[in-house]
Structure 1
C-alpha cells in the first residue's frame, strides 16, 4: 500500500507535468528552425532513473509513444555506472529509437549529490539530416542509408562539456548545419530546465518522496487503464485498410489489425499485413507501438495520465519483415507521415461497432508531409522548408469533425504565411479550406486544407509524403467518406502536372505547387442532419446547394432560406 494519499499524488503529478511542459516551452522558444519554433514539431518528457515514462507534455502523440522505448534502449548502452552529471546523449537510429532520421532524441541523466535520480528526454524533428534529398525524406529511398546520418546513441555533452568533434560531425553532414545546431542547443536547454526543476522538487521534499510519487503515478495509470478495459466486452475485433503505394510503386499495401480484449488486457495483432515495402513507408516497431498506445488510450480512457503504466496492459504483435515491423536496412522515413495514420485508422475501425459512442470516422489519413529544399544561390546557403498539413477530422457520434486540423498521430501547428515568405524564396498564393471536401453525415467530417506555393528561384527539390489520394477516408454508420487529396504543379507556360500522393522531384523558378488535403468521413446518415446545420454549412461555403440537396436532402433557395416544401418531400417528412 502506497504511503502517498490521493491529494498528494495529484500535487506531484501536476509538478511532473509542469516540468515537462516547461521543457517544451524552453525548446520551442530557443529553437532556430521554423519547424520547431513555429510548427512545434517536438516533444518533451521526464522518466524514472530506470527509464520508465513519468510525465510528458501535450505535444506530438507519435513522438510521445516512441520515447519510452528509446530511453530503455539508451540505458542498455549507457547503464548508470557509465553516466555522469552533465551528459547528454543523441540518438536518431530508427532501428533503435523507432522513429525516422530527422527525429533526433536528446536524453540527459539527472543527478543529485552524485546520485542518478531521473532522466530528461526530448525529441525534435530537424529540417535536414543529409540523405539523397533535402529534408531527408525522399520517397525514392530504398534503404536507410539513403535517408541521412544515423546517430547510434552518442554523447554530445560529457561531464557538462560540449563535444566539439560531435558538433562538427553534425554540422558537416547536413545541408542546414546552422539550423540543426541551433535546434540541438535548444534541446540541451530544455533538458537543463528539467534538471533544475527535478532538483527543486527533491530539495522541497526528498529523493524518496519523488521516487515513490513517480512509481505510484505509474501504478495509478495502470489501474485506470485496466479498469477501463474491464468495462467493455471481451472478444476479437478486426479491420483492414490500405496505404496507396510506397513511393516506388503505387500498389496498395494492406494493414490488417486484430484486437483481442481479455478481461483487463488487450492484444493488438498485425498478422496478415503485407510484407515490408521497397519504398520508405515501413513502420518500425516503435512507431507501430506508439499508434496502438495512442488509439487505445483515446478510446478507453482519454484522461488517464500518460506514462509507462498506461501501456502495461497492451500487448503488441507485429511480425518481423512486415510493413509494421521491417527488417534492417529497410527505409522508414515516410512511415511517420502515412503508415502511422493508417495503423491508427485500423484500430479505430476495429473497435467502432464495440464503442460507437466513442468512435470517430476516418480522418484525412495522412500528415501530408511536404518539403522544398535546395541551395539558395543569392544568399549562398542551403534552405529546407518542411511542413505537415492538416486535413479534415472524422466526425464523432455527437459532433462534427474539426476543419483543417492535424489529427491522430500528429499535433503540430502550421507555419504562418508571413514566416514562409520571410524565410524562404516562396510566394504563398493562397491558404484556405477545400470547400465540399467533408464527408456527409448526421455529423459531417471536417474539411481539408489547400495551400498554393510559387517558387521564386531555381535549384530546389520538392518531396510530397501524402496519402488518401485514391481511397476516400471512410465514414461510419451511414456517413459518407471525405473527399480525397490531390497535388498539382503548374508550370510557367500554363502546363498542369498531376502528381500521385508520393513524389520527389526537382522544381523550377515560377513553378506553382497546389496541395489539397482530404476531408474527414461523416458519422451517421446524412439525411438525419439538422436542417439548420446544413443551411449553415452552405452559408459558410463548406458545401454547395447541390451537395445539400444530393447528400442531405435539403433544398436551399437562392436567398439562403430553406425550401421547406421541397425539403419535406425529399426527406419524406
Structure 2
C-alpha cells in the first residue's frame, strides 16, 4: 500500500481522534470529581506489539509510562490472551506510576486477529492503604500505599471478573465511586476499540498494518531529524528533591550524538525509606516529555519518535527504585524534579525551546476519612521562554489536570472553601 505524507497525516488525525473520543467518554461517564472535573486520566492506542500509536493530549507522566503497562499485559498473558477481555494493572513496577493510577488495557481484534490495543489510565482517589487518598506521607513500602494490581484479567465481554473487582472494592474507602469510575474506564476502551475496528474496515487488514508502520516510521524520521539539528555533546545538570531530613540529588547527563539522544542518571541518590522514590517508567515519561519540549511540537507523539531516545539509570536509585519501595510521591513530586533536571541539561542544547524553571511540584492536597477521599493538585508558576512570559496558576511539567470547581467540591465533599485565588506577590 503506497502512502504519501497526506495519507499519513489523515491517518494520524483519525487515530488521535479515537484517543480523544475515549477521553471524552471517560470524562462524561466518570463518577468521581477527580475524573469528571479534574480530568485526571489519559487515553491512547497501541499497535499489536505494544508500541504507542496515538495518544490524546492528556497527562505526560501517564502517557510516557503507559506503553510499559501494555507490554506488561502482553508479557503476562501471551498465548493465553483473551481477545474479548480487558486487563488491569496499577503496579508501578509493571509500568505504572503510583497505585491510584489504574490502567485498563483492551486488545482489539479484527477478523479474529489482534490488530492493536486501546488503554486508559485514570487516577482513583482512594485504593486503600494506610491513609485516605492512598498516599500516606510516612509510607516506606508499596503495600502501605494501597491495593496492588499486577497485570490481571479484569473483565470478559463487558462483565467484571470477581477475582479482580472484589478485592479492589474491599480495599477502597469509596467503593461506590470506584465502581462508577471503573465502568467509565471500561466504556472508554469499548469506544476506542470500536473506532479502531472502523479504521480496519476502512483500510483493510494489510492496509491498517501498513498505515501503522508508516506512522511509526514517520515519527522516527521526524524525531531523528530534530535531534540531529541539536548540537552534539554531553550536557549535565543536577537538581534535588527535598526529603524529611536532607536533600537527595537527581543527576543527569544527556548525550546527543547525531540523531541519537541518551540520558544517563548515574550519580543520582539511592532510593530512600520514604515514598518519593520514582520507578523507571516514570523517569522514562520525564525523558519523553523533556525531549518533546526541546524539539518540534509538530512531531507525531508515537512510539516511533522515541526509538532514538534512550535512558539508563542505576537500579535501586531514586529515579529507578526497586520493590517494595513506596513510590506515591515519586510520581507526583520527584517526577517534576526529574523533568527539571532533564530540561536543565537540554536547555544547554536548545536554549530557545526550553523554558525557564517552573514550580517544580504538583502541590498535592489530600483530605479524607473512612467516608470520602478528596485529591487536588494546585497550579503554580510556569517559567517564561524566549519571547514569551511565564504564566501563573497553571499545571506544568508532568501533570496536566484541571482543578475541581468549588461548586463541585462543596457538593461532593464535607468541605467549605472561604477563598481561592492567586497569592499576591508570590510570583
Task: Please state which band the TM-score falls in when normalised by the shorter chain.
Answer: over 0.9
SS state at 2:239 partner = strand
Among candidates 191, 195, 199, match of residue 197 of structure 1: 195
Partners of 1:326 and 1:164 in 2: CA distance: 32
Contact 1:31 1:186 in 2 (8 A): yes
- Which residue of structure 1 aligns with residue 401 of structure 2? 412
- Which residue of structure 2 aligns with residue 67 of structure 1? 66
Unpaired runs of 5+ residues, structure 2, are none
Matched, 1:279 2:274: yes
Displacement of 1:161? 3.5
- Which residue of structure 2 aligns with residue 560 of structure 1? none
Displacement of 1:348? 1.2
Among candidates 382, 396, 401, match of residue 385 of structure 2: 396
Among candidates 156, 162, 165, match of residue 164 of structure 1: 162
Q: How does 1:411-450 map to 2 (within 5 A)?
A: 411-438=400-427
Displacement of 1:351? 2.3
TM-score, length-scaled by structure 1: 0.73
- Which residue of structure 2 aligns with residue 93 of structure 1? 91
Among candidates 169, 181, 184, match of residue 183 of structure 1: 181
Displacement of 1:158? 2.3
Distance verdict in 2 for CA 1:161–1:423, change over 3 Å: closer
Q: Deviations over 1:187-240 (max 9, x none)?
A: 000000011111111222202111111111111111111101111111111111
Partners of 1:201 and 1:316 in 2: CA distance: 34
Among candidates 245, 249, 256, match of residue 254 of structure 1: 249
- Which residue of structure 2 aligns with residue 231 of structure 1? 229
Contact 2:278 2:334 in 1 (8 A): yes
Q: Deviations over 1:50-78 (max 9, x none)?
A: 11110000000110001111111210112
Contact 1:275 1:322 in 2 (8 A): yes
Partners of 1:25 and 1:268 in 2: CA distance: 35
Partners of 1:250 and 1:361 in 2: CA distance: 28
Q: Deviations over 1:10-40 (max 9, x none)?
A: 1111110000000000011111010010000
Partners of 1:278 and 1:317 in 2: CA distance: 23
- Which residue of structure 2 aligns with residue 351 of structure 1? 346
Indicate the RMSD between aligned Cα atoms, in angstroms: 1.1
Displacement of 1:84? 2.3
Partners of 1:5 and 1:87 in 2: CA distance: 35
Matched, 1:12 2:11: yes
SS state at 2:71 partner = helix
- Which residue of structure 2 aligns with residue 147 of structure 1? 145
Partners of 1:362 and 1:48 in 2: CA distance: 35
Contact 1:280 1:330 in 2 (8 A): yes
- Which residue of structure 2 aligns with residue 135 of structure 1? 133
Among candidates 207, 210, 213, match of residue 212 of structure 1: 210
> Which structure's CA Rg is the greater one?
1
Displacement of 1:114? 1.6
Matched, 1:116 2:105: no
Contact 2:44 2:56 in 1 (8 A): yes
Contact 1:84 1:159 in 2 (8 A): no
Displacement of 1:416? 0.4
How many pairs does the alignment contain? 427
Contact 2:65 2:282 in 1 (8 A): yes
Contact 2:100 2:134 in 1 (8 A): yes
Among candidates 327, 333, 337, match of residue 328 of structure 2: 333
SS state at 1:76 partner = helix
Displacement of 1:165? 4.0
Which segments of structure 1 move beyond 6 Å, counting only runs of 4 or more? none
Unpaired runs of 5+ residues, structure 1, are 376-381, 439-573
